[in-house]
Amino acid sequence: MHPLDLSSDTPHNYFLLVGLGNPGRQYEKTRHNVGFMTMNRLAAHLGENFSKLESKALIAKCTYQEQRLVLAKPQTYMNLSGKAVSSLLRYYKIPLSNLLVAYDDVDLPLGTLRIRPGGGSAGQKGMQSIVEQLGTEDFSRLRLGIGRPPGRMEAADYVLQEFRRDEAEALDLVLDAATQAILTFVSGGLDKAMNLYNSRNT
């Protein structure tokens, strides 16, 4: 598939900020939904909520430092996240440089986040779907650590478990850090966000 082609009259003050997860109350507090949790925290910080459905995604629209933000939580289930993301990018004519996707990563410990300008999906099905739909890996992503599965537990089972009570504080701190990292990405660019947030744990 060819990379997503957007017209040259793209409004560069538009950003698409996506959190990955699964819809439904049964998944709400699971590790796989830490991307949704991040978008919820970001929307609350900006005084908005997810009240509209567009392109198979719940969205919230707001403004931050003269930038127009579209926050999105795809409702297609994780494995088909790319359909919502590609549709929203086309509809709002947002350049790939203004896309950031937040998602769970079992290769990072809880309380850790990493911002990257691109790269593979590392087996994360939602990211894999987005890469396939966009035809490129060259878009910013925010990896949120959820820790490794204990013992011989399969990753597919682990990510659908809820966070433990003793992990609540670390989760709360990393969601706050993720919110600030995303706002730094919007206002100061990817390099600034990486320099500030990749060098530390929460």
Instruction: Tell me which residues are annotated as active site.
Output: 32
Query: Residues of 50-78 as b/e, b for ≥16 C-beta within 10 angstroms?
Result: beeeebbbbbbbbebeeebbbbbbbbbeb
Radius of gyration, CA atoms only, the chain? 16
What is the rounded distance in angstroms from the CA atom of residue 74 to the CA atom of residue 142? Answer: 16
Residue 75 to residue 55: CA distance in whole angstroms: 9
CB atoms within 10 A of CB 130: 29
Q: Are 86 and 133 in contact (CB under 8 A)?
A: yes
Query: What span, in angstroms and rounded, lies between the C-alpha atoms of 68 and 124?
Result: 28
